[in-house]
Amino acid sequence: MLVALFVVALSATVWPSAHSLPLSTHSDVQSLAHKHQVPKWPAQYQVSWSLTIPFITKLQSTPFVYNYTVHQDTLNGRQLSTRDGVESVLQIVDTNTMYQIYPKVDTWDCRTLEIDGGGGPTAQQRRRLLSVENGPKLTLVLPDLSEGKWTFNGTSKIRTGAWAGLEADTYVWPLTEDYGYGRVSASYAFYVSQGGSPLRLEMWGVNLYTGGHFDDYEVDFRNFSAGSPPTDIFKIPDICPLKPSVRDSYVGRMQMRHSGLMRHLAIMHPNAHWGDAEYDAFVHRHGRRHRSEEEYQGRAQVFMDNQRMIEQHNAGNHSYKLELNHFADWTREEYRAVFLPNTGAPRLSPQGDSSLVRQHVRTVPAHMVPNTLDWRGSPADSPVKDQAMCGGCWAFGAVASLEAAYFRQTGKQLLLSEQNMMDCSWSTGNTACMGGFQDLAFQWVLNNTVGGLASEEAYPYQGVTNFCRKDVPQAAKFSGKYVEVTGGEEALKEALYTKGPMTVSVDAGPDAFQFYKSGVFDEAKCQTQLDKLDHAVIISGYGTSPEGQHYWLVKNTWSTNWGDKGYIQIARQPDDCGIASQPIYIDFDHVE
């Protein structure tokens, strides 16, 4: 459903990992059922919901609301989700197909995807490999309160939002977890009217709809009604390709990953255990969810096969060792389907005009570069932003580099518009909330046919894919080049010192990244090759912890509710999650 579906808040090219939320047991669920009559949603209904992100109101004077209307037909496996009458997603389980109709510059476009296609174990693979006939396919709208960690919490008064003041049955799902980088507490609350209608969902944690970043999300439900949907409403729009298209570009493949991953909204599903101690330990570490005992047994078998293979390999005379990493319960086919198509992609974006890019040249000798550097709070380092339910991290990364360049050139701070960049830069291959790359953004904005950007204030962020607005004037006009910092750690330190904050890509895949709170993030499982990096962020400095560990100071765009007030310290080489792999800044030769 929803845009949000395609939109991993993790971003540009993010493949969000299964989130490791705590585990539920059979006994929890059963004892809950004795205490209270848990509402069960009808097989056919219509509901409208609006989602707000309170953090956005601190950021910009024009807050936004995601307004959706959903027609749900579980009986016939169909769902239509429409946002503000602008964007819609139609899902048809029978044909395993979803159609996304979205605005593109000044027109509409549609893409056709497999509901369970793309990244991760697909429905098809699951059926073949694990003999699982059915799993829920349609995207979550109303949480199934009989599943997962939900417990009845009595009645209480709704505090804020559309239903403030109303007395409602309250279900809660609290959790606290420590992934090694600080204790994180999440909590979910769901309110149901005494008549059995859904009223409100409060999420302090990972977004249950998208799997997106840790934040504060508030959803009000309105106009819930049971009954069969209007005839014709599930008609496939003419502009949609009938079959999922074969996507052969790198960007395309990344998008495929997104949509597939979106199927894994499995956070809501019970995480029951079926008994293999070693696999359970793995499940606990990596947050797997299994919908049935068959699926569990199938995965446990794959895990044990891989374990045996790795032990044999490591016992032999080889120049490298294998480890039982978080793919240990994926089959080789699954792994290849998701990761290997990208192997060998030489750079993030293979095409483009090389006249707009150059390589960084050091100007300051290493001994003059300070050991610690922190741009936070300076006008060169814009405030922590929030990409909301949109895979637009690439635009945030690119705009941060532009903002730093603007400050360097003019001595003034000017916040520029990510929405402008997302809405209008399709020509170089970016796809708004569905993903993109910083260098493609630079190729668009530095092209002399564009050569500028509106301000954040005049063209505020909306967190959705939208039409390109031509009526908003550019707040800054500029020309110049984008500059790649190759040469590793020393080069990056020098470039940060002389040029200020800049954008960089990172491997945000490890589970612990989602739940990072504090300390130096040092994950041996982090990837560093360019084609494995899946999220765009901003690097704002570097330093050394009291324990003597060197780190990069990295700013994310997941609000200050995530991480250390929005920032993360990432260990420097060798496990730098790709931070030093390809930082990019902007050099203006003209700005006005």
Ligand X SMILES: *[C@@H]1O[C@H](CO)[C@@H](O)[C@H](O)[C@H]1NC(C)=O
Distance CA(202)–CA(217), nearest Å, equals: 6
For residue 388, the Cα-to-chain-centroid distance in whole angstroms is: 9
Q: Which is nearer to ligand X, 191 or 552 (CB)?
A: 191
Residue of 96, 271, 556, 561 with catalytic role = 556
* Cis amide linkage into residue 270, ω under 30° from 0: no
Alpha-carbon distances of 538 from 245, 358, 400, rounded to whole Å:
33, 20, 7
Residue carrying the six token digits 């904005």: 445
Closest approach of Cβ 81 to ligand X, in Å? 13
Closest CA to 474 of 496, 447, 500, 456: 456
* Cis amide linkage into residue 22, ω under 30° from 0: no
Per this entry, what is the length of the chain?
592
Distance CA(69)–CA(49), nearest Å, equals: 6
Distance CA(40)–CA(192), nearest Å, equals: 11
In the annotation, is 561 catalytic?
no
Closest approach of Cβ 68 to ligand X, in Å? 9
Residue of 96, 213, 535, 577 with catalytic role = 535
Closest approach of Cβ 209 to ligand X, in Å? 17
Judged by CB under 6 A, the number of residues near ligand X is: 22
Does residue number 48 form part of the binding site for ligand X (CB under 6 A)? yes
Alpha-carbon distances of 367 from 363, 373, 502, 553, rounded to whole Å:
12, 14, 22, 21
Does residue number 355 form part of the binding site for ligand X (CB under 6 A)? yes
In the region spanning residues 98 to 157, those forming contacts with ligand X, defined by CB under 6 A, are: 153-154, 156
Q: Which is nearer to ligand X, 382 or 443 (CB)?
A: 443
Does residue number 333 form part of the binding site for ligand X (CB under 6 A)? no
Point out which span in 64-72, 117-125, 535-543, 577-585 binds ligand X (CB under 6 A). 64-72
Q: Which is nearer to ligand X, 188 or 394 (CB)?
A: 188
Does residue number 354 form part of the binding site for ligand X (CB under 6 A)? no
Determine contact, residues 213/207, Cβ cutoff 8 Å.
yes
Determine contact, residues 380/501, Cβ cutoff 8 Å.
yes
Q: CA angle, 39 as apex, 33 and 42 as ends, to 5°? A: 130
Distance CA(140)–CA(51), nearest Å, equals: 14
Point out which span in 102-110, 292-300, 371-379, 441-449 binds ligand X (CB under 6 A). 441-449
Distance CA(165)–CA(177), nearest Å, equals: 32
Closest approach of Cβ 143 to ligand X, in Å? 14
In the annotation, is 393 catalytic?
yes
Pairing mode, if any, of strands 476-484 and 535-544? unpaired
Closest approach of Cβ 319 to ligand X, in Å? 7
Does residue number 479 form part of the binding site for ligand X (CB under 6 A)? no
Q: Which is nearer to ligand X, 202 or 418 (CB)?
A: 202
Fill in the DSSP letter of residue 218.
Answer: E
Closest CA to 290 of 510, 130, 145: 130
Q: Which is nearer to ligand X, 67 or 549 (CB)?
A: 67
Tell me which of 44, 60, 62, 67 binds ligand X, using CB under 6 A.
67
Per-position x/- string for 302-331, each x denoting binding to ligand X as judged by CB under 6 A, each - no binding = ---------------x--------------
Residue of 393, 424, 433, 468 with catalytic role = 393
Does residue number 297 form part of the binding site for ligand X (CB under 6 A)? no
Tell me which of 27, 30, 37, 449 binds ligand X, using CB under 6 A.
449
Fill in the DSSP letter of residue 531.
Answer: G
Q: Which is nearer to ligand X, 48 or 342 (CB)?
A: 48
In the annotation, is 110 catalytic?
no
Point out which span in 349-357, 406-414, 469-477, 483-491 binds ligand X (CB under 6 A). 349-357
Distance CA(70)–CA(46), nearest Å, equals: 6
Fill in the DSSP letter of residue 564.
Answer: B
Closest approach of Cβ 154 to ligand X, in Å? 6
Structure tokens at 399: 């705009």
Task: Give the catalytic positions in this structure.
Answer: 393, 535, 556
- Residues at the interface with ligand X (CB under 6 A): 48, 50, 65, 67, 69, 84, 153-154, 156, 170, 172, 189, 222-223, 317, 353, 355-356, 427, 443, 447, 449
